[in-house]
Amino acid sequence: MQPIELAPRLPLWGVLGKFQKTVMAVTSVLIVAMICYTVLIRYVFGSDFYGSEELIQMLAFWLYFMGAAQGSREKSQISADILSCYITNAKWCRIAQLVKDIVTVAICLLVTYWACQFVGWGIQMMPKSPVFRLPMLIPHTAIGLGFVLMSLYHVVYLVQDMIIHIKMCRAGE
């Protein structure tokens, strides 16, 4: 199956891809810089960058969840697709792919619902981080947005696979 890059020709797909890659690059650089700074301050100057873990953790949430969304976008998530080794009939392979897509979308939509409820709770309660008193909505939003993007990509793949299956069935394959 082709990655989404080759499917919809809407500007939204390009914007989402650039956004995710930018967030991953920026957060990676910032995390590495903060860890290096913390090590330098602690072991060279004998001081401490109090609360660095808090900031690094917030950045890490954005890195992890945008990375997960990017993995869904590129279809590079880990998959235990053992059925394709045993099913030799092309039609039954497509059906197995559709079943896998449906289960993936169902689970992803359920977890997305929970993630959105979590973000909603964060908006209502407005918890703050212990050291810098930053809103915990910063990492919570990464969780919600990450799952929304993953669900979006998996729904698009399900629709793509259904269209391919229908076309192949009509063609007699």
In this predicted model, what pLDDT tens digit does every residue of 143-161 receive, in sequence order? 999 999 999 999 999 999 9
Complete DSSP assignment for 85-121: HH---HHHHHHHHHHHHHHHHHHHHHHHHHHHHHHHH
Please choose, from the candidates 56, 62, 75, 29, the residue with its C-alpha nearest in 3D space to the C-alpha of residue 131.
Answer: 56
Residue 39: predicted pLDDT: 94
Mean pLDDT of the chain: 91
